[in-house]
Amino acid sequence: MTEPCLQVDDLHVKYDVGSTGFGRRRWLHAVNGVSLRIEPGETLGLVGESGSGKSTIGLAVLRLIEPFSGRVRLGGADVTGIPRSGVRSLRRRMQMVFQDPYSSLNPSMTIEQLLQEPLQIHTDLSRGDRQAKVAQILEAVGLHAGYAVRYPHEFSGGQRQRVAIARAMIIRPELVVLDEPVSALDVSTQSQILNLLKAIQDQSGSAFLLVAHDLAVVRLMSPRVAVMYLGEIVEEGPSGRVYDNPGHPYSAALISAIPFPDPVRQRASGRLILRGELPSLLDPPSGCRFRTRCPFAMDICAAEAPPRVPIEGGGVAACHLHAHGPRLAGGSVRSLLTARVLS
Amino acid sequence: MSAATVPSTIAPVVLAPPPSGFVRRFCRNRTAMVSLCLLVLITLVAVFAPLLAPHDPARSSLRAIMKPPGMRYLLGSDDLGRDVLSRLIFASRLSLLASVQAVSIALAIGLPLGLISGYVGGWVDTIIMRLNDALMSFPALILAVVIVGLMGPSLSNAMTAIGLVYAPRIMRVVRGSTLSVRQEVYITAARATGCGDARIILRHVLPNVTGPLVVQATVLMGQALLAEAGLSFLGLGVQPPEASWGAILGTAFPYMAQSPVPTIAAGLVISVTVLCFNLIGDGIRDSVGRMRRSGD
């Protein structure tokens, strides 16, 4: 069995948010026991609404925030068990692209300085070799090499994101965490950047952890997807299967929120609209965390945390519906939706 | 790498030459520009003092004691019969150099401490800030008088004292900016790239705190000049026969009733120079502030 590029086991991230006033610390449980696996060169999409903890996972994987517990392994190297100072040498193998290219590039550095920095830190190339590499990567991300002398504020959002991608890819890392890489960009620019990411991945063979709330983006980019709700992964599996036959009501709700361009199909599709707000992470619901907003919630959902059930067509979902109530037994939640529309 | 697979949609658009927004805005600020011109003029006078001064500033003449302004002595002569204009021209050298020395010392102490305090935070920050508060709780000039009293009166000692007293002001500004820059996404991005703390502080934080720093340093130049004048007026700064503007004011002041011109001239030169520094500081602040925002 080959070593996975990234393996995350039972990751917990908690923030200390002060005491209740009675001496007890209050913890915000942002990520609650998440496990994932990404093979070399693979893309895993991580979706969920804001506040679901998906970006936190990305940051914790790179140890940009300290995980509370759990283990992260990068191609056999332990990321979490080593002192913070040791993580720096691992940065050569894992990089990150941030959401907002307007704030993730230092305004006082030229493009050349920004792109040379990773090379200065991680390689001992000569100045000339570094400049050649910078010219090469600029061309690869579709920017004119003459732009190297300019400052970030002279560029558009899409161009800046190209620079940010170049900065992450210039040392050819094994893993790149893409934290909402296109959600700050215009729709017309988004597809260009996504195509660029795909092209670069084909060349470099890097694995991507793609964090996004846009399901269309994730479907385009990644063959495998994990759905997060309130700090937990509720469903995981091949993108096609999750989109067509979701095994968890939350995935079904997310997917039914994607608009169809065709109004007839739009009306025909059983929409699953969630009510209420995302519960507080300070005081998550007992049992299944989704039960307060789930249209199919049963008594058992409040009592027990749902088991992870294998779903037909690949992947797993954490939901009681498969063993209790309608006993979907690995089938699609869609059958419940059509039943509701008909009744 | 081949670019063929990549959608190269970016035509080499000809952008305008790098718009140096700061310079353009500063030039549009008339008050600041006039102040800058005046200051350049004063600096030139200081540099070319030997060429410009009509008399030897140290030579006294018994026949020319406290002459009123006239053809020979444009601003009159002082109680020892020295030409006041020449003395003011030569004094500009000492006064400006003294301010530079004081601000340099303040920067040398305040900048690194401010960066460390703001970036590291925690107990390091607490300790540095308490010392800072303690130093700031003393009135600046009184503290400087005490330090000069301990080290002995000389211009260099006086300015070292002023620099020490002003260091907390630089530190506070730098710490404040560092605290806000530290929250920026590009600092997290730098850590993700693999930068160490030293590199982040020097390459990523420092260039982004220079705006407020330059403003504060310019204003402090004016204040240091004033403090030097004050200390020299009291006899704690420059020692005779050398003179700074403050020393000239101090020696001319007792004879103000007989000959007011030297006192007024020295006072005017000090006021105008300090005002120039402050107005330039304001101009830089206004211009830099807008650049930061339009940068996004």
In a domain, A231, yes or no: no
pLDDT given for residue A198 in this prediction: 93
Residues of chain B neighbouring A160 (CB-CB closer than 8 A):
none
pLDDT band at B294 (very low <50, low <70, confident <90, very high): very low
Residue of A62, A150, A199 with shortest CB distance to B192: A62
pLDDT band at A206 (very low <50, low <70, confident <90, very high): very high
In the three-class reduction of DSSP (H, G, I as helix; E, B as strand; rest coil), residue A202 is classed as helix
Q: Is the dihedral of CA B16, B18, B21, B26 positive or negative?
A: negative
Interface of B with A in 139-198 (CB under 8 A): 184-186, 188-196
Residues of chain A neighbouring B120 (CB-CB closer than 8 A):
none
pLDDT given for residue A216 in this prediction: 85
pLDDT band at A339 (very low <50, low <70, confident <90, very high): low
> Average pLDDT in the A64-83 region?
88
pLDDT given for residue B17 in this prediction: 44
Residues of chain B neighbouring A59 (CB-CB closer than 8 A):
188
> CA–CA separation, A35 vs A56, rounded Å?
13
pLDDT band at B7 (very low <50, low <70, confident <90, very high): very low
pLDDT given for residue B2 in this prediction: 44
pLDDT given for residue A94 in this prediction: 93
pLDDT band at A266 (very low <50, low <70, confident <90, very high): low
Give residue B68's Cα distance to chain centre.
Answer: 34
Residue of A103, A143, A150 with shortest CB distance to B185: A103
In the three-class reduction of DSSP (H, G, I as helix; E, B as strand; rest coil), residue B208 is classed as helix
pLDDT given for residue A61 in this prediction: 92
In a domain, B219, yes or no: yes
pLDDT given for residue B16 in this prediction: 44
Of B226 and A117, which is predicted with more confidence? A117
- What distances in angstroms separate CA B134 from CA A120, B131, B167, B213, B223, one per listed residue? 42, 5, 12, 22, 20
pLDDT given for residue A21 in this prediction: 63
Q: Across the strands, what pairs with A27? A: A16
From B10's Cα to the closest Cα of chain A, the distance in A is: 6
> Average pLDDT in the B187-215 region?
90
Largest Cα separation within chain A, whole Å, is 72
Residue A149 CB neighbour total at 10 angstroms: 12
Domain count, chain A: 2
In a domain, B121, yes or no: yes
Contacts of A190 (CB under 8 A, 6+ apart): A182, A217
Is the same domain home to A217 and A251? Answer: no
Residues B6 and A141 sit within 8 Å (Cβ to Cβ): yes
Residues of chain A neighbouring B294 (CB-CB closer than 8 A):
153
Per-residue tokens: B226: 């004033």
- What distances in angstroms separate CA A68 from CA A57, A71, A232, one per listed residue? 12, 10, 15
pLDDT given for residue A341 in this prediction: 52
pLDDT given for residue B3 in this prediction: 44
Residue of B1, B188, B195 with shortest CB distance to A139: B1
- Residue in chain A closest to B8 (alpha carbons) equals A142
Is the same domain home to A268 and A179? Answer: no
A15 reaches B (C-beta below 8 A): no
- What distances in angstroms separate CA A281 from CA A28, A208, B153, one per listed residue? 6, 27, 65
pLDDT given for residue A25 in this prediction: 73
Average pLDDT over all residues of chain B: 82
pLDDT band at A270 (very low <50, low <70, confident <90, very high): low
Give residue A313's Cα distance to chain centre.
Answer: 22
Per-residue tokens: A27: 């913890």
pLDDT at A311 over 80: yes
Write the secondary structure of A50-86 as one string of H (helix), E (strand) and C (coil).
Answer: CCCCHHHHHHHHCCCCCCCEEEEEECCEECCCCCHHH
Is the same domain home to A39 and A184? Answer: yes
pLDDT given for residue B293 in this prediction: 42
Q: What ipTM did this prediction achieve?
A: 0.86
Domain count, chain B: 1
DSSP A302-337: HHSPPPEEE-TTS-EEE-GGGTSTT--TT--THHHH
pLDDT given for residue B85 in this prediction: 85
Is the same domain home to A251 and A113? Answer: no
Is the same domain home to A205 and A266? Answer: no
- What distances in angstroms separate CA B80 from CA A233, B87, B198, B251, B256, one per listed residue? 90, 12, 57, 10, 14
A9 reaches B (C-beta below 8 A): no
In a domain, B96, yes or no: yes
Residue type, A114: L
- In this structure, what DSSP letter does residue B204 have? I
Is the same domain home to A141 and A273? Answer: no
- pLDDT above 70 covers a percentage of chain B that reads 90
Residue B31 CB neighbour total at 10 angstroms: 12
Is the same domain home to A191 and A274? Answer: no
- Residue in chain A closest to B186 (alpha carbons) equals A104
Could you list the residue range(s) of the whole structural domain that residue B187 is in?
A: 26-43+83-294
Is the same domain home to A201 and A136? Answer: yes
Per-residue tokens: A335: 């059958």
Residues B230 and A144 sit within 8 Å (Cβ to Cβ): no
pLDDT at B290 over 50: no
> Average pLDDT in the A279-287 region?
84
**pLDDT of B223-271, one tens digit each?**
888 888 888 888 887 777 778 888 888 888 888 888 888 888 888 998 9
A195 reaches B (C-beta below 8 A): yes
Is the same domain home to A121 and A198? Answer: yes
> CA–CA separation, B276 vs B271, rounded Å?
9
In a domain, A239, yes or no: no
In the three-class reduction of DSSP (H, G, I as helix; E, B as strand; rest coil), residue B7 is classed as coil
pLDDT band at A20 (very low <50, low <70, confident <90, very high): low
pLDDT given for residue B1 in this prediction: 42
Residues B191 and B199 sit within 8 Å (Cβ to Cβ): no
CATH at residue A149: 3.40.50.300
Interface of B with A in 253-282 (CB under 8 A): none
pLDDT given for residue B123 in this prediction: 92
Residue A64 CB neighbour total at 10 angstroms: 17
| Its pTM surpasses 0.90 | no
In a domain, A229, yes or no: no
Q: ∠ CA A87-A90-A95 to the nearest 5 degrees? A: 105
Contacts of B198 (CB under 8 A, 6+ apart): none
Torsion of CA A216, A220, A222, A228, to 10 degrees: 0
From B281's Cα to the closest Cα of chain A, the distance in A is: 21
Interface of B with A in 208-237 (CB under 8 A): 208
> CA–CA separation, A272 vs B34, rounded Å?
68
Q: Which of A4-8, B78-82, B216-220 has the lowest mean pLDDT?
A: B78-82
CATH at residue B276: 1.10.3720.10
From A274's Cα to the closest Cα of chain B, the distance in A is: 33
| Residue A125 burial by Cβ neighbours in a 10 Å radius (0-12, 13-18, 19+) | middle
Q: Which of A169-173, B71-75, B157-161 has the lowest mean pLDDT?
A: B71-75
Is the same domain home to A212 and A131? Answer: yes
In a domain, A59, yes or no: yes
A35 reaches B (C-beta below 8 A): no
> Average pLDDT in the B74-93 region?
81
Helices B206-233, B140-151: inter-axial angle, 10-degree rounding: 70
CB contact under 8 A, A107 and B295: yes
pLDDT band at A197 (very low <50, low <70, confident <90, very high): very high
Residues of chain B neighbouring A102 (CB-CB closer than 8 A):
296
Q: Where are the alpha helices (DSSP H) in B183-205?
A: 185-193, 197-199
Q: Which of A41-45, A50-54, A230-234, B131-135 has the lowest mean pLDDT?
A: A50-54
Is the same domain home to A215 and A251? Answer: no
Q: Where are the alpha helices (DSSP H) in A101-171?
A: 111-122, 127-140, 157-169
Contacts of B154 (CB under 8 A, 6+ apart): B237, B238, B239
pLDDT given for residue B36 in this prediction: 92
> CA–CA separation, B265 vs B184, rounded Å?
50
pLDDT given for residue A174 in this prediction: 93
Phi-psi domain of A330 (left: phi exceeds 0; alpha: psi -120 through 50; beta: other): left
> CA–CA separation, A311 vs A330, rounded Å?
4
pLDDT given for residue A285 in this prediction: 86
- As separate numbers, helices (DSSP H) first and strands (DSSP E) second, chain A gives 12, 12
In a domain, B74, yes or no: no
pLDDT given for residue A129 in this prediction: 93
Residue A102 CB neighbour total at 10 angstroms: 18
For B46, the enclosing helix (H) or strand (E) is helix B30-47
In a domain, A152, yes or no: yes
Could you list the residue range(s) of the whole structural domain that residue A296 is in?
A: 246-342
Average pLDDT over all residues of chain A: 87
pLDDT at A319 over 50: yes
Residues B84 and B73 sit within 8 Å (Cβ to Cβ): yes
Is the same domain home to A210 and A267? Answer: no
